[in-house]
Amino acid sequence: MNKKLNVYLAGPRGFCAGVDRAIEMVKGALKKYGHPVYVRHEIVHNKYVVENLKSEGAIFVEQLDEIKDRSRPVIFSAHGVPKSVPEEALKLNLLYFDATCPLVSKIHKEVEHFDKKKLPVILIGHRNHPEVIGTMGQTNNKIYLVENTQDVKNLPLDFNEQIAYVTQTTLSVDDTKDIIKEIKSRFKKIVEPKKNDICYATTNRQEAVKKIASDCDYFLVIGASNSSNSLRLVEVARNYGSKKAILVEDVESLNLNIFENTKNIGITASASSPEILVKKLLDKLKKNFEIKINEAHYEKEDVYFKVPEKLKH
């Protein structure tokens, strides 16, 4: 008899509405315009998704000047781009489509709005993440990036002046609360975003992990090491009681010997990881263990973002 394993499956997990829309846009462009279709930056941070789209005819570039055939369309990734990118696309006479998630676009509009009011803007986020680069690039004025509470203390701003803040969409809900608390304790006059900028998908996936982490000896997060929301899920699993938590970038190469002294494992998938990878992982476990699956549902999601008419397929 195989060894027994209890598997706790987090719900919701996997693709969010913004990721779904971005992938559908690339597929729609391939169908409508044929291949190749260029994509600026990984459309979403997941190797499996990127490799699949490559096999269908997408070419991934980091900058627009890498595009060899300028008669072909280009799609900007779900993370959003600085204003300079569509400007450059126009100069290069490129046909472009913007797959920025509407929840990231909402933050871009907030930055523009605060900019018009001449308010200094603090952005809570991770340096060099493409979403942060995109959000900072919505203004020519100074925008202050803070990654932790110490950065808030070091801000070169007058604590008596009025400021506004926004956040990256894929942060840790808990860490961000602490940073906002620090901002509020220092600045007296603050304009806050109307609604929390951390998106529904990030929040729900973290809450779903919190619900089951303490039942788990090992937590497996299917995701990518350059994906902010994947890394945050690993941290949440550890912080909420799982004895160990790891990122699984490649299901096939996962060494099952690590579960030798394990009875209970938790599984989730980041917002940019497709459900097929969860299925592959479960199939792999089933071949080696007798598994009992306990699926939890923290919240039902019914968010859907429309694909632009031109790219419907």
Evaluate the omega torsion of the peptide bond into residue 82 and state whether it is cis, within 30 degrees of 0: no
Q: In what order do the strands lie in the sheet with 121-124?
A: 143-146, 121-124, 163-167, 190-191
Amino acid at site 59: I
Closest CB to ligand SF4 among 5 and 103? 103
Q: Quick one: which segment of 14-22, 58-66, 146-154, 289-297 binds ligand SF4 (CB under 6 A)?
A: 14-22
Catalytic residue among 131, 192, 260, 301: 131
Q: Quick one: which segment of 15-23, 134-142, 175-183, 257-265 binds ligand SF4 (CB under 6 A)?
A: 15-23
Closest approach of ligand SF4 to the CB of residue 214, in Å: 25
Closest approach of ligand SF4 to the CB of residue 16, in Å: 3
Q: Which of residues 157-176 bind ligand SF4 (CB under 6 A)?
A: 169-170
Q: Which has the closest alpha carbon to 82: 128, 122, 132, 120?
A: 132
- Asked if 103 interacts with ligand SF4 (CB under 6 A), we say yes
Q: Which of 30, 104, 143, 237 binds ligand SF4 (CB under 6 A)?
A: 104
Pairing of strands 218-222, 290-295: unpaired
Closest CB to ligand SF4 among 46 and 264? 46
Closest approach of ligand SF4 to the CB of residue 76, in Å: 13
Question: Quick one: angle between helices 47-56 and 17-33, nearest 10?
Answer: 10
Q: Quick one: which segment of 16-24, 47-55, 58-66, 249-257 binds ligand SF4 (CB under 6 A)?
A: 16-24
- Asked if 229 interacts with ligand SF4 (CB under 6 A), we say yes
Residue with token string 């299901």? 251
- Asked if 132 interacts with ligand SF4 (CB under 6 A), we say no
- Contact by Cβ (8 Å): 121, 165: yes
Question: Quick one: angle between helices 200-213 and 228-239, nearest 10?
Answer: 30
Token duo for residue 308: 């632009």
Gap between the Cα atoms of 15 and 21, Å rounded: 10
Closest approach of ligand SF4 to the CB of residue 240, in Å: 20
Closest CB to ligand SF4 among 229 and 264? 229
Q: Is the dihedral of CA 227, 229, 231, 234 positive or negative?
A: negative
Gap between the Cα atoms of 266 and 270, Å rounded: 13
Query: Is 131 a known active-site residue?
Result: yes
Q: By rule CB under 6 A, what string of x and - marks binding of each residue 186-205 to ligand SF4?
A: -------------x-xx---
Q: Which 3 state secondary structure label does DSSP give 74?
A: strand
Q: Quick one: which segment of 62-70, 97-105, 158-166, 273-281 binds ligand SF4 (CB under 6 A)?
A: 97-105
Binding site for ligand SF4 (CB under 6 A): 16-19, 78, 101, 103-104, 169-170, 199, 201-202, 229, 271
Catalytic residue numbers, as ranges: 131
